[in-house]
Amino acid sequence: MQYIAETKEFQITEPTVVSIGKFDGLHVGHQKLVREMVRWKEKGLKVAMFTFSTPPLSLVGGRKQTVLMTNRERMELLRSAGVDYLVEYPFDQEVCHMAPEQFVKEILAGKMNARVIITGPDCHFGYKAAGDRALLEKLAPEYGYQFFVVEKERDTDGAIISSTYVRKMLEEGDVKKADRLLGYDYFITGTVTHGRSIGHKKLYPTANLLPPPEKHLPRFGVYVTRVTADGKTYGGLTNIGKKPTIQGENPVGVETYLYDFDGDLYGKEIRVELLDFIRPEMRFDSIGQLKAQLDHDIGKCREIFRDSWIVQEKGKADG
Ligand SMILES: Cc1cc2nc3c(=O)[nH]c(=O)nc-3n(C[C@H](O)[C@H](O)[C@H](O)COP(=O)(O)O)c2cc1C
Ligand SMILES: Nc1ncnc2c1ncn2[C@@H]1O[C@H](COP(=O)(O)OP(=O)(O)OP(=O)(O)O)[C@@H](O)[C@H]1O
């Protein structure tokens, strides 16, 4: 896949099938759209995604806008979905003020070399987001592309799947639903760092990671997780939050106890996939009480991994 980021100076010469959007999380609705695009490969088109690069922590209405995926994670998922070109266009004043027709002419038909454009029904682009499906349809003959709309994929209860909806489910701690909407298990990756060493002295040893500031985190609490570290997969129990039992202001951390692991992960990159919500993060009156709760949580969840294929299956697949 060719990754074209932070530049406006590019020209795709191969004919393409193009879509526009944020594609945050690449949920099952996005995946349906991408599958429709990939079908055009047999007709000789390359799959090209037009997205805007999101600054690491953008402010929307004065509120920090977190994302399901960092730009790098999105790039990796789009690559494995079969995308040939990923354009992360700088989101600046010029493009914000571009007339919709000019956007179609210069960017979609021009730089992206679109012969086919596929979007959802609510696609918007250009100045004041005035460009829409009607305009794309109208301009198709003039700029020599075919235009198709993919209907919105819905959840089993009829709700339209969107990145906003997935973020909301995570905020409510409903990771099972979020995972279903995403079509894969929501994950957080990062490098294992040193905590305050209270864990291995008084509690349990844990692998701590500080998530990137833009990463959307679920409700603070304890989650059953699958952890990949050093090419191996482990069952885990992960606390996401600020450890209110421990004095002082702690940064938001993702801290995992790994089952059947005895080793050192400091400095290594790990991937923590969220499978189920166990309980909210709580403030205990003493470390002793927190320890009693951890004994209980760890014991209870060991059963989940013993009875389940979750970790073993992944282990087999990894060879
Ligand atoms: C499974 C699990 C559940 C946890 N639950 C809580 C909790 O409810 N409240 C809390 O204050 N800390 C909780 N913690 C965090 C502990 O306070 C933390 O492991 C300990 O302070 C060690 O931190 P350190 O690695 O920085 O030394 C939990 C940790 C784990 C692994
Ligand atoms: N559920 C869905 N089914 C099919 N296509 C979808 C679905 N959701 C979004 N799309 C399409 O994917 C493209 C990228 O959309 P975008 O990432 O902006 O959507 P979104 O998930 O609805 O995000 P947000 O919640 O931020 O509005 C658009 O063409 C959009 O219409």
Q: Is the pLDDT at 190 greater than 90, yes or no?
A: yes
ipTM here:
0.93
Say whether pLDDT at 144 is over 80: yes
Could you tell me if the CB of 129 is within 6 A of ligand 2? Answer: no
User: Is the pLDDT confidence value at 59 over 60?
Assistant: no
User: Is residue 174 lining ligand 1, measured as CB closer than 6 Å?
Assistant: no
- 285 CA from centroid of ligand 2 (Å): 45
CA of 166 to the centre of ligand 1 (A): 26
**Sequence ranges of the chain with CATH classification 2.40.30.30:** 178-317
Confidence of residue 316 (pLDDT cuts 50, 70, 90): very low
What is the pLDDT at residue 194? Answer: 80
What is the reported pLDDT for 255?
96
pLDDT of residue 33: 97
- Measured in Å, residue 287 CA sits from the centre of ligand 2 at 45
Ligand of minimum distance to the alpha carbon of 161: 2
| pLDDT surpassing 90 at residue 62 | no
Every domain range in the chain assigned CATH 3.40.50.620: 2-149
Tell me which residue of 71, 67, 29 sits closest to 155, measured CA to CA.
Answer: 29
Domain 178-317 adopts which CATH fold?
Answer: Elongation Factor Tu (Ef-tu); domain 3 (2.40.30)
Lowest-confidence region among 53-62, 87-96, 157-166, 229-238 = 53-62
Percent of the chain with pLDDT over 70: 91
Return the C-alpha torsion angle 147, 80, 315, 261, nearest 10.
Answer: -120
Q: Is the CB of 281 under 6 A from ligand 1?
A: yes
pLDDT greater at residue 260 or residue 147: 147
Output helix, strand, coil percentages for the chain, rounded to the nearest 5. Answer: 35, 30, 40
pLDDT of res. 47: 98
Cα–chain center distance at 66: 10
Cβ of 195 less than 6 Å from ligand 1? yes
- Beta bridge pairs of residue 188: 272
What are the distances in angstroms from CA 26 to CA 23, 35, 46, 67?
5, 12, 19, 11
Question: How far apart are the C-alpha atoms of 105 and 237, rounded to whole Å?
Answer: 51
Say if domain 2-149 classifies as CATH 3.40.50.620.
yes
| Averaged pLDDT, 28-33 | 97
- Of ligand 2's atoms, which has the minimum distance to the CA of residue 21? 14
Mean pLDDT of the chain: 91
Q: What is the pLDDT of residues 204-228, one digit of tens each?
A: 889 999 899 889 999 999 999 999 9
Ligand 2 neighbour 153 (Cβ under 6 A): yes
